[in-house]
Amino acid sequence: MNNFKFKIFRYIYNKLKHTKLMTKNMECPGNGFLGHIATELMVSFNKSVIKDAVKKLNVKKNNKIIEIGSGNGEALEMLVRSTDKKITSIEISDKFRKKLINKFKNKNIEFFSNDAKNMVDIIVDDTFDKLLAINVIYFLKPLNEYAKEFYRILKFNGYGLLHVNLKVFKILMKKLLQIRISKK
């Protein structure tokens, strides 16, 4: 995305970021104009953390991996090169999932549209060695339900990485603290 387009999209996002419509598109981008903005911004923002996250996950050739919120598949590209096992991708956005299925049609990846807080019908207990979720923690509400499900699907000694942009996370935590303080 060129710099001018990025600035325009960022301006629009900043004006609409607290609206239900923009929040919905950031969580699960639609096909309209705001969905396009959300998609472009997510791809740009996530580039900086994907490489770091996959490196920290420390994948071995025999690891069975699940990625929650695979987006445009940048992390999947790295993960496919790191393991010989089938990778599972959970992507609730129809737009992203269709692109992922097309992009990785000849790769050892299985795609699901389930909400990650309830995968009992598709994943048995103690299945994965590694779990990766990049910049999705903001959408996992209530977080404890997702944490229980991640715990259920990870093997004993499994490793889950919920990777976030620290700057965005600090802003989010400040807002949460302000909300808690103001409710007292």
State the virtual CA torsion across 69, 70, 71, 76 in degrees, nearest 10: 160
- CATH code for position 88: 3.40.50.150
Phi, psi of 66 (to 5 degrees): -125, 135
- For the stretch 149-172, pLDDT in tens is 999 999 999 999 988 766 655 655
In the structure, what pLDDT confidence band is assigned to residue 181 with cuts at 50, 70 and 90?
very low
> Which of the pair, 127 or 173, is modelled with greater confidence?
127
pTM of the model: 0.76
Say if 13 falls within a structural domain.
no
User: Which strand (E) or helix (H) includes residue 128?
Assistant: strand 128-134
Range of the structural domain that residue 152 is part of: 49-177
